[in-house]
Structure 1
Amino acid sequence: MYKKAISTGIDLAYAYLDSNPEKHMIKLLNLVDKLDRKKSIESQRKVFRDIIKDKDNNWYRFILGMWNDIDSGIRKAFFHNIIFNSTLLAKSKHDKYREQYNCNIPWAILMDPTSACNLNCIGCWAAQYGSKLSMNFNTLDRIIRQGKELGVYFYAYSGGEPLIRKKDIIKLCEKHRDCMFTAFTNGTLIDEEFADEMLRVKNFIPGISIEGFEEETDSRRGEGTYKAVIRAMEILKRKKLAFGVSCCYTRKNAEIIGSEEFIDDIISKGAKFAWFFTYIPVGADAVPELMVTAEQREFMYRQIRKFRKTKPLFTMDFWNDGEYVEGCIAGGRRYMHINAGGDIEPCAFIHYSDSNIYEKTLLEALQSPLFMQYHNQQPFNSNHLRPCPLLDNPECLVKVVEAAGAKSTDLIEPEDVHELRSKCVDTAKEWAQSAERIWSESHPCEGCAACPFCKGKK
């Protein structure tokens, strides 16, 4: 009854906001203040209040852009499924189950509908797999149903190329309208028909992979890929569909990905968010030479923080933003990954598992030795600019995998964890020096336990 009443209130609040967003934003925030009885999102509310007080703020422009550029039904679905279901509703469930089961409970689940891909990108493990594995509709649906029982309302697809299964993805959007869905997609399969389906279901927002401009994108993803991506963006923007980009920065393109020219370009094409990942040498065909230098990683660290203060674009850096989430978010702490064979992995980049969705429930996997190793060892470093147990602390991954007895899930050539570690050791040592310097500059209150950063100290 309480959930239904709150849901109705959220719908009414959204309608009120939608009628005049500039005038009604502050009044809506006052309502959210009242709903947040346990002060679960107090810090987020403060940030939002500061934003709407300054109409010249880039984030204020971002919010208004959501009204000017995006279909009203998509805005409403995002508002209800992310702000209410994934935040207000989920928080109490997550807290309850974390205490009850003494394990991590994720905010999001990433899963691969298929291992198949229509591209053959340099250094990507999916390029080796072909169309060997897939999870059928019923399996994907079962994962979502189990996830919702745990309070998970945000689902992301990867692969392979997830839009090879776009009909099933749309069906899942239809069946689970209380969830928000995204996909890390190469974008080449987005056409007018699929865009119309997105507009119909309202709760799917893609993140399109792009490596920079045409030269950078085509050199890694194949000739003609950039033009296909731009066509997809043009379709989505014209139909007022929300989308973002997913950018993998490497030694070859970091300066382009982190340039103001590139960021301005994707904003002009309609992107509302940007995921940033650095290259990880996973798999037999990995190319360690693509790993960024410490100088390039620091460049991205500083550029993304600069853009957050100046650009109307929501940005996330999967590694360099560890300081905002107290370290590694994998292992179910904030998210988990299920590959196309059903193997339940701590992270999309950690191809080791001791559980399979065909044999265990999500909750059983979260309580498995591998996930409990993550639960018990996180954070893997007291410096949250070194959050990753592979890229930043490779010895930690060896300990976790061996202690759990986890096995490699690589479909072609199982990768010994010591071999994987060896590809990251030198890079980790180089970044450690930069990370310690940056951390000491930005966190001079070392160990005071007065802020989330210091609370994570061991």
Structure 2
Amino acid sequence: MKQGFNLEQYLSNGVEKIVKNAIKATLKDPRESVFLAKYAVSSKEAAKKRRLAKENGENIPPFLIASITSNCNLYCAGCYSRANHACSDKAPVKQLTDEEWNHIFLEASQLGVSFILLAGGEPLLRKDVIKKAAKVPDVMFPIFTNGTMIDEEHYELFDKYRNLVPVFSVEGYQEKTDKRRGEGVYKRVSESMEKMKKEYLTFGASVTVTTENIEEVMSDGFVEALSNKGAKAVFYVEYVPVTEKTLGLAPGDKERELLKEKLTGIRGKYPEMIFIAFPGDEKTSGGCLAAGRGFFHINSKGGAEPCPFSPYSDINVRDTSLKEAMKSKLFLALQDENVLMEEHAGGCVLFQKKEQVEALVRR
């Protein structure tokens, strides 16, 4: 991966590639082709809105991460959401309602946001919110799911509304996935992928990269397996340690170089797929993209945070507009004081500069 890699442009080009491949398969699934062709136009319109905003001194990020629930049916080893107490099954949790999320999605669309990543907890537990997202066709909604809660109604939603794109979490093959996520999870996820492929539905995969699985998940065999299953996108997310005991799982310089090298080869070998490394691609895109530079995070209670790995907030979308939340004092301080651009050991800069971020919140 060369310096100057533009993540937003790569994603836009990737969507266009998927569109072209879908058009070739029109006889198999004309609905997918029609949707993706329309979305390509919407994506360019959104980019135009963002450019105009920038000319007026406002920055609208192309991405938004929305944790639509704090509930989850799994207890994955090393889960950052549970470690940050952002993932709780106990009531009352005061989560945003489906109508509140709907308002956020619509405003995001109007501002020019192209992608809203739905996360959790387990987002498929909030079918009410997913149904609202379905009705915003000019925004793509990747849904980061553990794949164990998917039912027939979900498949029907994914079939009818092609802007909903499930992204299934795996840790490698069966042994490593089940070790982290629980026995039988890999089999259930594989079955979900097989059904998605059979129904000509677009989906992706998300892999948490650790020192234990990096060679496996970056291998030609593993990527080939995902391609054969029908995955159109793969998100490689570097593991962020949640306790001192898990520091050894976080990729170091050696692993990051391997990830960078392997990604270059994979992108060349599978041009029909999209491969995103987080936060690796951020570093080569000119620094951390959090805190509104390229994206920000809204937690299940409405708090606007720089990033899921940096769960600090000084503003809530319940009390203000999405546009105003993007201008939060914390976000502006992180941008103005160049915290996002500072040199660091690699991985997540905000996680490594946790004390500095906390000081900015208290200011």
Q: Gaps (5+ residues) in structure 2?
A: 1-5
Equivalent of residue 105 in structure 2, options 129, 144, 156: 144
SS in 1 for 2:168: strand
Distance 1:63 1:303, change over 3 A: farther
> What is the distance in 2 between the residues matched to 1:108 and 1:61?
19
Cα drift, residue 240 of structure 1: 0.1
Equivalent of residue 29 in structure 2, options 39, 46, 71: 71
Cα drift, residue 383 of structure 1: 7.0
1:334 maps to amino acid: G
> What is the distance in 1 between the residues matched to 2:156 and 2:179?
31
Distance 1:66 1:219, change over 3 A: farther
Contact 1:330 1:347 in 2 (8 A): yes
Contact 1:244 1:271 in 2 (8 A): yes
Contact 1:184 1:246 in 2 (8 A): yes
> What is the distance in 1 between the residues matched to 2:287 and 2:258?
20
> What is the distance in 2 between the residues matched to 1:44 and 1:109?
16
Contact 1:323 1:385 in 2 (8 A): no
Equivalent of residue 180 in structure 1, options 132, 140, 143: 140
Aligned pairs (5 A) from 1:400-411: 400-405=357-362
Which residue of structure 1 aligns with residue 248 of structure 2?
289
> What is the distance in 1 between the residues matched to 2:152 and 2:361?
47
Contact 1:62 1:313 in 2 (8 A): no
Contact 1:162 1:184 in 2 (8 A): yes
Equivalent of residue 301 in structure 1, options 260, 274, 279: 260
- 1:260 to 2:220 alignment: yes
- 1:157 to 2:118 alignment: yes
Cα drift, residue 385 of structure 1: 9.6
Which residue of structure 2 aligns with residue 335 of structure 1?
295
Aligned pairs (5 A) from 1:211-230: 211-230=171-190
Contact 1:143 1:362 in 2 (8 A): yes
Aligned pairs (5 A) from 1:92-131: 92-100=48-56, 102-127=57-82, 129-131=87-89
Deviations 1:57-99 (A, max 9, x none): xx97995367439733233323322x2223x212232233234
Aligned pairs (5 A) from 1:44-63: 63=20
Instruction: Decide which structure has greater helix share.
Output: 1
> What is the distance in 1 between the residues matched to 2:220 and 2:343?
28
> What is the distance in 1 between the residues matched to 2:58 and 2:261?
34
SS in 2 for 1:248: strand
1:343 maps to amino acid: G
Which residue of structure 2 aligns with residue 357 of structure 1?
317
SS in 1 for 2:142: strand
Equivalent of residue 336 in structure 2, options 376, 385, 390: 376
> What is the distance in 1 between the residues matched to 2:36 and 2:233?
14
The two structures, once aligned, show a CA RMSD in angstroms of: 3.0
- 1:168 to 2:129 alignment: yes
1:124 maps to amino acid: C
Q: Gaps (5+ residues) in structure 1?
A: 1-40, 52-58, 407-458
Equivalent of residue 205 in structure 2, options 231, 245, 262: 245
Distance 1:67 1:204, change over 3 A: farther
Distance 1:385 1:195, change over 3 A: farther
> What is the distance in 1 between the residues matched to 2:259 and 2:182?
25
Contact 1:109 1:337 in 2 (8 A): yes
SS in 2 for 1:197: helix
Deviations 1:151-176 (A, max 9, x none): 12321110000001124302431x32
SS in 2 for 1:359: coil
Which residue of structure 2 aligns with residue 390 of structure 1?
350
Identity %: 33
Deviations 1:259-291 (A, max 9, x none): 111000010111011011011124x69722321
> What is the distance in 2 between the residues matched to 1:97 and 1:137?
28
- 1:275 to 2:230 alignment: no
- 1:85 to 2:42 alignment: yes
Cα drift, residue 303 of structure 1: 0.7
Contact 2:77 2:181 in 1 (8 A): yes
Give the TM-score, by structure 1 length.
0.69
Cα drift, residue 123 of structure 1: 0.7
Give the TM-score, by structure 2 length.
0.86
Cα drift, residue 404 of structure 1: 4.1
SS in 1 for 2:120: coil
2:265 maps to amino acid: K
> What is the distance in 2 between the residues matched to 1:379 and 1:96?
26
> What is the distance in 2 between the residues matched to 1:94 and 1:60?
22
> What is the distance in 2 between the residues matched to 1:124 and 1:66?
39
> What is the distance in 2 between the residues matched to 1:211 and 1:286?
19
Contact 1:192 1:235 in 2 (8 A): no
SS in 2 for 1:91: helix
Distance 1:215 1:155, change over 3 A: same
